[in-house]
Chain A
Amino acid sequence: MTKNHVTATVNGDVVEFLCETHQTLLEVLRDELGLTGTKEGCGTGDCGACSVTIDGRLMCSCLVLGVEADGKAIQTIEGMAVGTALHSLQRKFLEHAALQCGICTPGILIAARSLLERNPDPTEEEVRYWLAGNLCRCTGYHKIVDAVLDAAREIRGG
């Protein structure tokens, strides 16, 4: 089977990879590029564990083909901290105990960052509806919502 040659920017770095036409971006990230921080919970776009941004837009990477990433800028959880400095959301998730098993955490952090980029001062209800595409089975979302609101406050400088 002939593979496709794809060039994309992942977390700021230009990467090239070969992928089969039917391979999802999620499979490419995990199996070809070794970026296993992006998780597969369902493969059907229902759980949000594989959330990434593509040219700034929040997407489920299991619903995007690897070949579609050509020429695009992808952001994954591995690019969220800058060097050794954690993103405010990452710190707040730790401080608020907003993760238990942690499998949904990368996707929720990516989704939450996407929210705060658009809406730096969301209400609790806005956070809950924005994150409605990200399943968490451990926490009941209570501490996740608190962490996102607290990070928003910190980022706003409040």
Chain B
Amino acid sequence: MSATITSGKKKLKLVGTRPVRPDGVPKVTGLARFGADYSLPGMLWGKILRSPHAHARIRSIDTSKAQALPGVKAVITSADLPEQEFEYVGPERVAVNFWHMTRNIMAREKVLYEGHAVAAVAAISRTVADEALRLIKVDYEVLPHVINVEEAMQPDAPLLFEDMITRGVEPAPNKPSNISKRIELKIGDLEAGFAAADEIVEGSFKTAPVHQGYIEPQACLARFDPDGQAELWASSQGHFVIRALTARLLGMDIGNLRVYPAEIGGGFGGKNVPYVEPVALALSRKSGHPVKIVMSREEVFKACGPAPGSSMTVRIGVRKDGKIVAADGLFKFQAGAVPGSPVMNACMCAFSPYDIPNVRTVGYDVVCNRPKTAAYRAPGSPISAYAVENVIDMVAARIGMDPLRFRLENIARPGTPTVSGPKHTHEGFAETIQALMQHPGYTAPLGKNQGRGFASGYWFNNGGESSAAVHVNEDGTVLVATGSADLSGTRASIALMAAETLGIDYDKVRPIVADTASIGYSHISAGSRTTFATGIAVVDACKKVIGDLCARAAMIWDVNAEDVVWEDGCARCTGNKAGECEPLSLKAIAAKRSVTGGPIVAEVSVNAGGVAPGFATEFCDVEVDPETGAVKVLRFVAAQDVGRAIHPAYVEGQIQGGAAQGIGWALNEEYIYDEAGRLTNAGFLDYRVPVASDLPRIEAVLVEVLNPNHPFGAKGVGEANIVPSLAAVANAVSRAIGRRMTELPMSPPKILKAVNGEQ
């Protein structure tokens, strides 16, 4: 069962209800079209040849035999993609370097991880394409490799890039290394802070890389015409970003590429960037035929970004009265073969839930011979929270305070500075803690070998660029088009907000995700931004339509426009003629469209600010089997401040899904490499994500502290939920066995070792 805790709820008719999603039926009948479900006449199958080595120089690639195979229409290598400038562009937190990106799409001088793309073919069937891959001869000079982050940071480690000089260090180092970047953030006086502490607790922790684990492998269909115009059907978190990056990687104009959003079968951050799209389009450009590429699961694991593994040390100083006075965190993240792990997010989020006057966070972004990391649900924050919330738990135990009470005593509030500069501006954290303190499970007795763990977490959430168009049809139905990929039910929240604003029934609104040629620019569906930012664009567009409808009513009634108001889906006259004018419904005005000015349409684009962050607090009960080391999660309760829950069932779903992924991260999931640097568990049998029988019911507690900067109070709901989950499970396990577990995943062998005192 879910509980909802609401503050300041005003009367709404539709927002906050749970109707069936508008795109639901095709998804239960098999008719929804995902990335792999598109075909075109004359279509070829594309396949990618991948490196068998973790690190090797490419001496030569001979594609002649593959090209000569009957049925093969094109073979490409990196020579078919233009070279890119070496330059970091965009905001520091998410900077992109196209020199690296093109090399990750198709290796140039070297292969940097097992599974790195080397060449690709397009052929008349999958069978012929597979045969052609076998005929490509690549001459490799195998190089020493490095997988582990600590080893990659050693001065004598094999270098992925012989000229990589660490950024963020003054003066710049004179020797290259695998450390792409160092970040340091601080406020206050760390030494004085620790000097004032009565107790100081320090812990070091490691986490394994984990995969987003979306069930739909990357897939696309590309068509490049001889006149230079191209179309792409792709499953992604943002077709505008896929368009921009793919066009750049192929050296073509954005205006010549139209991207259609396929339904997306899970992303969680992993589908923010292209993998197969530039390859399919380059194959189509070369062959003159449409080309479809569908990744195998093995390719997804080996070549599409997991979240980074990490090595971290956290130190917290506290006074006896429970006030945290200093905190220091060191976060070393594996970026994989391309710089750009989310370590800066980790540095910014780590201590952000708390009011601590003296804080330092140091982060290292380290390349190693693994696939490039990609975003994964609140990228960076669950990892740093795992370390911080373990130490918070240890501190609470040290000073004998209840772990929730201890957190509540130290929470950040509006006005509290953060380590990255801006002050907190929103409430909501305290309410998540209080929600759990009131939960009956908080004080429920525990049995033998059982433990209860608590943790909290913080995530920025995001706003940004979104577009929406509202078209009123002549029968009073309404089309709402946005440019935001729908990962998990946002069309339902969009339709609810539009119907509520217009004052019409939910089923009169048809929300669609429009392609890149049919709506204004819209950024990726990531950072929990869609219902917030795209929602603002939708509501603004509905308000513009209402203004138009009122003007038309004024024209029909022959009154001044200011004498017309919009209430309950009708234009109402408030002036002298109020008594003579029957209210005009949206439908009635729509019927007079052509005689009152023509089509009723509004399009609005926004760059939404006013974001409110997400806070979550969770607890879980586990039972550890001392014979096997296996952990059973008995109960999981997750409270998250979501602002207004527009469609509460899908908000609960976000929380339940985030917690489930966090449980997998904590207990099962990891990338396992052999001595040659090859991934040994690139499949769902050996990379085990939680299955239905692994999990308990996950109780979602919706805390609704409204965001005043959104028309209905929405914050962002997709990510904050996973931030505490790793630590909640870890703290529960540590309490159950009476020893601190310091490494994820807490797989049975590690727990057995700890139980047997061999840690």
Contact = CB atoms under 8 A, between A and B. Distances in A.
Interface residues of A, number: 58
Contact of A140 (B20, B487, B660): B660
B214 interface: yes
B689 A138 contact: no
Contacts of B37: 30, 36
B215 A104 contact: yes
Interface stretch (B52-60, B157-165, B260-268, B620-628): B260-268
A75 to B, nearest CB: 12
B33 interface: yes
A145 B652 CA distance: 14
Contact of A138 (B31, B32, B266): B266
B389 to A, nearest CB: 20
Contacts of B656: 139-140, 142-143
A98 B370 CA distance: 35
Contacts of A22: 127
B520 interface: no
A39 B297 CA distance: 12
A20 B488 contact: no
B487 A103 contact: no
Which of B20, B21, B29, B126 has the most C-beta atoms of chain A within 10 angstroms of its own C-beta? B29
23 contacts: A30-B37, A43-B297, A80-B29, A97-B647, A100-B488, A100-B650, A100-B657, A101-B214, A101-B263, A102-B28, A102-B32, A103-B265, A128-B693, A131-B692, A132-B692, A132-B694, A137-B213, A137-B214, A137-B215, A140-B653, A140-B657, A141-B695, A143-B649
B36 interface: yes
Contacts of A86: 25, 28-29
Given A46-B683, A132-B691, A139-B657, A93 B30 contact: no
7 shortest interchain CB distances as A-B pairs: A37-B30, A103-B265, A140-B660, A102-B27, A77-B30, A46-B684, A140-B656
B691 A135 contact: yes
Nearest to B26: A102
B482 interface: no
A105 B683 contact: no
Interface in A102-158: 102-106, 109, 125, 127-129, 131-145
Nearest to A125: B693
A135 B689 contact: yes
Contact of B488 (A95, A125, A138, A140): A138
Contacts of A136: 215, 692
A147 B277 CA distance: 36
A99 interface: yes
Interface of B: 18, 20-21, 24-25, 27-34, 36-37, 126-127, 212-217, 263-268, 294, 296-297, 487-489, 647, 649-650, 652-653, 656-661, 683-685, 689-695, 697-698
A137 B268 contact: yes
A128 B24 CA distance: 23
A94 B20 CA distance: 6
Nearest to A35: B30
Contacts of A105: 27-28
Given A42-B297, A90-B28, 9 more contacts: A36-B33, A97-B18, A97-B649, A97-B653, A101-B266, A132-B691, A134-B692, A137-B657, A141-B692
Contacts of A30: 36-37
A125 B632 CA distance: 14
Contacts of B217: 40-41
Contacts of A78: 29-31
Contacts of A39: 34, 36, 215-216, 265
Nearest to B216: A103
Given A41-B297, A44-B684, A141-B660, A100 B215 contact: no
A77 B37 CA distance: 14
Contacts of B31: 37, 78
A95 B20 CA distance: 6
A32 B652 CA distance: 39
B127 A1 contact: yes
Contacts of A134: 691-692
A53 interface: no
B30 A100 contact: no
Nearest to A38: B30
Contacts of A100: 266, 487-489, 650, 653, 657
A25 interface: no
